[in-house]
Structure 1
Amino acid sequence: MEDKVLEIAGVNKYFYNPQQMQVLKDISFSITAGTFAALTGKSGSGKSTLLYLLSTMDTDFEGSIRIHGEEVRGKPGPWLARFRNEHIGFVFQFHYLLPEFTALDNVKLPALKRGRLSGEAATQKACDLLELLGVKDQAGKRTALLSGGQQQRVAIARALINDPLIIMGDEPTGNLDSYNAGLVFDLFKKISSENGQTILMVTHDEDFARRTDRMIHLVDGKIA
């Protein structure tokens, strides 16, 4: 039996200001472990809204979202924060790094917060990830001094540090040139196939989406 990492059933989402508007309409699908999936659709189709629900950063919805067998709807904030840190790595289009910290410290932070690695082990793992993403030579620099492409690769390393069950991204290659975007795609493909990690990325890049294992396309809040 296939291991369903994500199970979404009958999800509806409304915004209420300035007036009520339904942005997601009866969304249902599942994703199995090790799948590299792309969430596509035009601006305003609801894909980023759906991603934020799946990442547990927004729990105001109707229906059911189960991640690794756990129903996330109705769970308290502290439980969700702990669950995210243990199971979900998130890559934003903007890096959201701590500018006064070094690249190495930014990557280490989620591992130290989780508390399953010693400081030395977290440092080594962060260095390995920075090397994998081609920015190990920037490890000691404050992230405010890095280029946009370097900052994004550091943010991806940070998302990977805890070996998350699921890696989610909102246009994670949107600020990268074609060469670095290709490197990031190849990395995601490798970790999904070799490590069995599930990846779900919102993207406008049609070439990126076509190369994934599966495309989930939204039109006006519905799966097309």
Structure 2
Amino acid sequence: MNILEVNNLNKYFRQPTEFHVLKDLNFNVEKGKLTSITGKSGSGKSTLLYLLSTMDTDFDGSINISENEIKGKDNNWLANFRNEHIGFIFQFHFLLPEFSVFDNVMLPALKLGKLSKEEIENNAFELLCLLDVADQGKKKASLLSGGEQQRVAIARALINQPTLIIGDEPTGNLDSQNTAIVLDLFKELCKEKGQTILTVTHDEDFADRSDRIIHLKDGRIVT
């Protein structure tokens, strides 16, 4: 089953002069798989990730996520769709430093409003247990180590049980030990939980351990 389907995707920058950034991209992302997007700086990785995250709908072609065509949707629909279906993990965790770990994890679910606060608290605790940071739950996020903060960010990304997790260099700010921990967690989430994860990465070892690599060069897929 494909969670993401991209067909004949083209992206242009119009200013200051027209530039063809992404060229005739076609690929699918299968449910329960870890897929890495690689390529040199300027290859179009970040532009592609921005489109796939539904933050930019100015493109030609089709992006379909969980049988929802993204092109043509208004901003309110896209915002609701992101909150319910897409989890985000960034190089820098973007946790709220003065909020507790629990509060950071619960925030997207409270915003979505589909579950009671008690259910959200239980789900947050289970995720923090899964990611081995439950003992840090009452601490302010600012007091955690970098590796712990990134694990909390992963829990936050998972709290709404998203269809797709999108990672922008999710291990780019971590040392090799914590990178290995996060990669093992991603593999476990895909295998045991059926989670679908799509990341941009410069880390060749990370990419090599993914289920699939999509390599970009000059805006085209070359592998």
The 2-side partners of 1:58 and 1:145 are apart by: 34
SS of the residue corresponding to residue 91 of structure 1 reads strand
* Equivalent position amino acid for 2:18 in 1: Q
Q: Which residue matches 2:78?
A: 80
- Shift of residue 192 of structure 1? 1.1
The runs of at least 4 consecutive aligned structure 1 residues that moved more than 3 Å come to none
- Shift of residue 212 of structure 1? 1.0
- Shift of residue 72 of structure 1? 0.4
Does structure 1 residue 7 correspond to structure 2 residue 5?
A: yes
Q: 2:17 aligns with which of 16, 19, 43?
A: 19
Residue-by-residue CA offset, 1:28-54 (whole Å, 9 max, x unaligned): 111221121111111111111101111
The 2-side partners of 1:117 and 1:181 are apart by: 32
Does structure 1 residue 120 correspond to structure 2 residue 118?
A: yes
Q: 2:68 aligns with which of 61, 67, 70?
A: 70
Where does the alignment leave 5 or more consecutive residues of structure 2 unmatched?
none
The 1-side partners of 2:210 and 2:96 are apart by: 31
Q: 1:152 aligns with which of 150, 153, 160?
A: 150
The 1-side partners of 2:125 and 2:191 are apart by: 22
The 2-side partners of 1:15 and 1:144 are apart by: 38
TM-score of the aligned structures, taking structure 2 as reference length: 0.95
* Equivalent position amino acid for 2:68 in 1: E
SS of the residue corresponding to residue 176 of structure 1 reads coil
Q: Which residue matches 2:42?
A: 44
Residue-by-residue CA offset, 1:17-76 (whole Å, 9 max, x unaligned): 332222111111112211211111111111111011111111111111001111001101
Where does the alignment leave 5 or more consecutive residues of structure 1 unmatched?
none
Q: 2:95 aligns with which of 77, 94, 97?
A: 97
Does structure 1 residue 35 correspond to structure 2 residue 33?
A: yes
TM-score of the aligned structures, taking structure 1 as reference length: 0.94
Does structure 1 residue 170 correspond to structure 2 residue 156?
A: no
The 2-side partners of 1:117 and 1:94 are apart by: 28
Range with bigger deviation, 199-208 or 142-151: 142-151
- Shift of residue 116 of structure 1? 2.2
| Number of residue pairs matched by the alignment | 222
Range with bigger deviation, 203-212 or 90-99: 90-99
Q: Which residue matches 2:56?
A: 58
SS of the residue corresponding to residue 192 of structure 1 reads helix
